Chains A and B, each alone.
Chain A
Amino acid sequence: MAGFLARRLLNYVVLVVVAASLAYLLAATALDPRSNYAQRTPKPPPAVVDAQLTALNLNDKTPLLQRYATWASGVLHGDFGRSVGGAPVNDDLKRRMGVTFRLVLLGMVFGSLFGVLLGAFAAVRQYGWFDRVSTALSFVLLAVPVVVLANTLILAGSWANEHIFRTLVFMVSGEYSIGLDAGFWRQLLDRLQHLILPTISLSLGLVAVFSRYQRNMMLDVLGADFVRTARAKGLTRRQALVKHALRTALIPVATYFAFTFAALLMGATFTEKIFGWHGLGEQLINSIFSNDVNTVAAISLLAAIAVLCASLASDLLQAALDPRVRA
């Protein structure tokens, strides 16, 4: 097991290095920080622009590989360089990381938990009303992109605020109300109010994917001999289903988890941007528009690490669920 994990880990480290390098090289080629200076009035003299770009390691007159070497040695020392504005990327990202982490974690937990539960429940009562409704709903949800879902939620939220609650229940923009001066509980409530809609927008897609997948896996397992044996040796239906069927059916879902994580990050990016959360995803979109090569590269590196951590976690989860992998 330890050898297996070590090999995996090494492979992942190489993949992260290659992925991050590729992202940097692509960003440095495709984005053009020099154009940021062209729109300024008065137009700065070319020598000044060159000097500034060189100081930021963004000058396109420096050979690409040299810029890459400078960037890479900085990253190895834990320094992601400076943004086009001159502020250190590290500070900015550190502030934003928590925001994204909170959103992704909540979305993932709610999405996979509800998805697995719904799917398992639907499979147990196959072709019952619950199964039919949840299958139809997940089919529809799979056809709704996050950008439409998030906007629909915003519209629905503000409609509900206006017509049902007649007060602000769902907050549709930002992570917290700026300038809210109240006690701890009031602040917490405020944050929760801001959290509800983005979390729904992020996790609904996951619920749809996981419930369909879990339902199919569960159906494969339900008729298996070992479940019948478990019933035969005297376990109640519930015990047999939860301890034997659900656990076995979870194994492929755990593998699937790694594949969905990249999609989850993408969804988090859209959700942040639409709901105005100042997280990494929002910064990624902004920094592409402001030609901010270093920020883009840093966020790509973090995303690659996150995806690989997720697949490592899914390896571990699989090992925990399936004794055959551990051997």
Chain B
Amino acid sequence: MTLSDEELAEELSGGALARAPSRVRVVSGRFFRSTQGRIGFAVLALMFLLAFAGPLFSRWTYTDKDFTAFMQPPSATHWFGTLQTGSDVYAVTLRGMQKSLVVGLLAALVSTALAAMVGAFGGYFLGWTDRALSWITDLLLVLPGFLILAIMSPLFGAGQWPLFVIMLALFLWMVTSKIVRGMTISVKEREFIQAARYMGVSPVRIIFRHVLPNLSSLLIVDATLNVSSAILTETSLSYFGFGIQPPDVSFGTLIADGSRTAVYAPWTFWFVAGLLVVTVLAVNLVGDALRDAFDPSASRKARR
């Protein structure tokens, strides 16, 4: 019996006001009861651990070059083998994974925040604000994001990756913002919002205090799934040299290098590609399980 259970039992036996189970606890309970959620979470945690704690266990850092071993298969000294330059594949891969995870997380956060803002403001104020915001949304949907990012790539010099993250986020938010807009329009008519409005609460405050918290489940799920699309887009762009630039490494640059030597040195390609796929898969599993946890009726309906 855990501490919180004891507390709960104590309160119940006391007969006084029994606390309603908090939403966070209900949702996380549902989340961890699903196999999908458990596996996804465990794998994702493992990946983070590997990316940020893994390098501590290796003798090599990602800038080290072993001039006695070029293009060597995996061995006791080099766990994932070495590259043509003598770099240790294990160290380089984990470094690239760190970058990809950070870029993916940040881009997802920024893009979901943007989607929430644009959607909520458009849906709440309607009229010209909405028309202008919807038009921008449509415009960005039409412009192939990859193309614009690629055109702007000369600006993402070495060390400029935060700019890259922002640009990446700029092309991920449109569909969600359309959903947020629709939901805002319906939430806006609910009594508690009307009440707040008649009490003279400012519209901006209403949006942040009342509208957005009511859409939090959608936003959390969306942010999770955006992490995987951000990682995938980052990988593709970096593969062609449009994303993270050379002194930095990421999944994309590593896969690009690895694919050239994959035929005779499979370890340069498969470890990176495998880790990428496993990471994205875990993020997707977590996102799906979260969606079910927030809205159990959706999956129950499907199980009919």
Contacts and interface: CB of A to CB of B under 8 A. Distances in A.
Contact of B273 (A18, A27, A30, A152): A152
Given A140-B277, A158-B263, A308-B142, A259 B147 contact: no
A262 B255 contact: no
Interface string A113-155: 0000000000000100000000000011011111110011001
Interface in B251-291: 252, 255-256, 259, 262-263, 269, 273, 276-278, 280-281, 284-285
B142 A145 contact: no
B53 interface: no
Contacts of A152: 273
A77 B220 CA distance: 49
Interface in A136-192: 139-140, 142-148, 151-152, 155, 158
B151 interface: yes
Interface stretch (A61-69, A98-106, A265-273): A265-273
A15 interface: yes
B141 A270 contact: no
Nearest to A216: B302
Interface stretch (A79-87, A296-304, A314-322): A296-304
B127 interface: no
Given A216-B302, A304-B142, A27 B281 contact: no
Interface stretch (B17-25, B65-73, B117-125, B234-242): B234-242
B232 interface: yes
B142 A19 contact: yes
B63 to A, nearest CB: 25
A140 B240 CA distance: 23
A266 B304 contact: no
A145 B276 contact: yes
A38 B232 CA distance: 35
A259 B140 CA distance: 12
Contacts of A15: 138-139, 142
A129 B136 CA distance: 45
Interface of A is mostly: helix
B263 A26 contact: no
A265 B143 CA distance: 11
Contacts of B56: none
A269 B259 CA distance: 17
A76 to B, nearest CB: 20
A132 B148 CA distance: 38
Contacts of B139: 15, 18-19, 22
Interface residues of A, number: 48
**Of B147, B273, B302, which is in contact with the most chain A CB atoms at under 10 Å from its CB?**
B147
Contacts of B302: 126, 216, 219-220
Interface stretch (B107-115, B152-160, B206-214): B152-160
Contacts of A323: none
A288 interface: yes
A16 interface: yes
B150 interface: yes
B146 interface: yes
Interface of A: 11, 15-16, 18-19, 22-23, 26-27, 30-32, 126, 139-140, 142-148, 151-152, 155, 158, 216, 219-220, 223, 259, 262, 265-266, 269-270, 273, 284-285, 288-289, 296, 299-300, 303-304, 307-308
Instruction: Please give me the 8 A-B residue pairs with the lowest Cβ-Cβ distance, nearest first.
Output: A143-B280, A143-B281, A151-B259, A266-B146, A147-B239, A145-B232, A148-B273, A219-B302
